[in-house]
Amino acid sequence: MTVRVQEQDFDVGAELAALTAGNHGIGGLGVFVGLVRDIADGSSVAGMTLEHYPGMTERQLEAIEAEARARWPLEASLIVHRVGRLEPGDNIVLVACASAHRQAALDATAFLIDWLKTKAPFWKLEETPQGEHWVDARESDDAAAARWGR
């Protein structure tokens, strides 16, 4: 129901409180928070820059979220994705789904993060001791998204 792409950090607790406020039909909340690691593919990472195509990125995230809402009975959902320069330990993404029952919330959250990793137009530039490089798509991400079909 809510999609945001932003440079500023987010407060996970405040975001979840706002998502569930006043909705007593929610019985389960699935949550994924992605963080910047200090290592990738065996190399240390000093930071990364996430780029996107404004407008197109939000529309694609909204389409992914609409697919989740069509598949599961969600009371509420949230995708917050950061862009710009980030350092190890920084929040990158928050995905949360609320439903009357836990399994729908958990499945929808897993679906959203799997599809977001493969279908959302973000580009990641990692800073390593060997220099900067663009991160390629990973087969493991494609395999995770493929388990959801369609």
* Cα→Cα distances 90→10, 59, 74, 82, 94, Å: 10, 25, 28, 10, 12
Q: Edge-to-edge strands of the sheet including 91-99?
A: 2-6, 74-82, 91-99, 28-35
Which CATH number characterizes residue 78's domain?
3.90.1170.40
Question: What's the mean per-residue pLDDT of the chain?
Answer: 93
Position with higher pLDDT, 108 vs 117: 108
pLDDT band at 150 (very low <50, low <70, confident <90, very high): low
CB atoms within 10 A of CB 60: 19
Percent of the chain with pLDDT over 70: 99
- Total structural domains within the chain: 1
Residue-range definition of the domain harbouring residue 74 = 2-146
The per-residue pLDDT for range 5-56, each reduced to its tens digit, is 999 999 999 999 999 999 999 999 999 999 999 988 778 999 999 999 999 9
Is the distance from CB of 112 to CB of 149 less than 8 angstroms? no
pLDDT 10s digits, 137-148: 778 877 877 888
**pLDDT band at residue 97 using 50, 70 and 90 as cut-offs:** very high
The more confident residue out of 1 and 59 is: 59
Instruction: Report percent pLDDT > 90 for the chain.
Output: 79
- Identify the residue with better confidence: 142 or 112: 112
